[in-house]
Amino acid sequence: MVATLRLVFVSWSVSAFALVFVFIATATPGQSWSADPEVGMKITKVNMHEYEDYLPPSVQIMLDYGMTIEVSEYESCPWPKAFIDATEKYSSQVELSEDNLALHNYTAGMPFPNIDANDPAAAWKIMWNHEHKPAFSDDVRTEWVVENMDDRGYVEKMLSSDVWRRLKWEGRIIHDPKPIIEHDPPMRFTEQWGPIQTPFDLRGTSFLSYRYEEAQRSDDSWLYLPALRRVRRYSTSDRSGTLFGGDIDQDSIWGFNSKPEWWEFQLLGEREILVPMHTGKYGTLDLWCGTSGTASWVPCVKWEKRKVWLIKGTPERLPVYAFSKRHLWVDQEVFNVTTSEIFDKAGELWKVWQNTFWCTESVRDNRVYEDKRLFTPAIAMIDFQLRHTSRITPPGPANPMEHDWMFEASEESLNLPEFYTIASVLNEGR
């Protein structure tokens, strides 16, 4: 007998969102309580309740806000060959510690390529796979634009930069040194946002973060504020606070950007839902459903049926934290979070981070990759309770996009260890 998870969406209002999660045991695996969305059809707020089993609760709210889902054919998003080779070579030696808080003998690739839902440690293995997912390879860089918007669709503030970059210090499979860049203490990756170009009052501001391998060691994070001529160290307790006056917190970036060791994870179920994995649109305004109102917050792109894990994460080791839990919908093929639902202290749905993807060889005219790569054309971070959003897009086709989604570009993308220092951040921000 297989336990199948059903989500029953009850109601929502400006101030409260009620969600009831009911486990129903059935002898028929994959049994559905709603209609099966067919390729070519469109789902809107008018007909969404017919397909609710394929729609996370937050996606149903976005449909009510004016989103349209165009159902497309399922398409695989295969791992890069080098990642497959590393997984085949090294995964058999990986062991999970007894307390789930560490990987032993990890070298590179996916640590746990085969997940058994009946394994008591399944949720942890899924989240360790997420920490080492193939989408972010040895190094990656992109430009970005964040628009903070009210419920009229009015842009209150726009932030932009030609730098988000991440460098892996372990699990490296393309560039030397492989598989690690030596550092004391050992690091998993470093990450930088900025320097910010707009608005003027934040120009030169940068955010730098180190993630260490040791479970007990917190991330080191620094915020450089040129206007104050100072570098501020960010404490772990600040990670759920919003950045730059918008709706985005540090731990929600990319769906889940927190250190797994600070959390407890529970596998709530295995589902087939609609996911925007091959949007067909990139960096253009028609990716959004409208130019005004809440329709301007939500993407109108292609979605496809895909299998996901539903993980409940609670910040057990983060006592000062704004959220009570997160529901992470994790794609079973690429192990990216597709939808991240964030709950307040009362257990009510508060925010969503909704990713859109385009798994393709390239979306750039001047760069071709040997394998399909997972680009992120747009992101919606919506505060349902305050009716506010911070939407994220690349700069768009009007820009040359010289630094947009470059993978394994190291020197060209200025993605080398020496750029991840406070001195480098200060120099770039001046």
Q: For residue range 205-245, list pLDDT tens digits in order.
A: 999 999 999 999 999 999 998 887 888 888 777 788 887 77
pLDDT at position 10 is 35
Element (H, E) at 230: strand 230-234
Instruction: Give the pLDDT confidence of 169-207 residue by residue, as tens digits.
Output: 999 999 999 999 999 999 999 999 989 999 988 999 999
pLDDT class for 321, splitting at 50, 70, 90? very high
pLDDT at residue 37 greater than cutoff 50: yes
Q: What angle do CA 45, 60, 144 make, to 5 degrees?
A: 105
Q: Residue 65: CB partners within 8 Å, gap ≥ 6?
A: 294, 295, 297, 298, 382
Instruction: Give the pLDDT confidence of 118-146 residue by residue, as tens digits.
Output: 999 999 999 999 999 999 889 999 889 99
341: three-class secondary structure by DSSP: strand
pLDDT at position 237 is 72
Long-range CB pairs of 118-124 (<8 Å, 24+ gap) are 121/96, 122/267, 123/265, 123/266, 123/267, 123/309, 123/311, 123/312, 124/96, 124/100, 124/260, 124/265
The domains of the chain are located at 1-159+245-396
Give the C-alpha separation, 69 to 304, whole Å. 9
Give one word for 286, left, alpha or beta, with left for phi > 0 and alpha for psi -120 to 50: alpha
Q: Residue 303: CB partners within 8 Å, gap ≥ 6?
A: 69, 70, 71, 72, 274, 275, 276, 277
pLDDT class for 393, splitting at 50, 70, 90? confident
Mean pLDDT over the full length of the chain: 88
pLDDT class for 282, splitting at 50, 70, 90? confident
The arithmetic mean of pLDDT across residues 90-101, rounded, is 97
pLDDT class for 413, splitting at 50, 70, 90? low
Extract the tokens encoding 72. 């497309």
Element (H, E) at 147: strand 139-149
pLDDT at residue 317 greater than cutoff 80: yes
Give the C-alpha separation, 6 to 415, whole Å. 44
pLDDT at residue 29 greater than cutoff 60: no
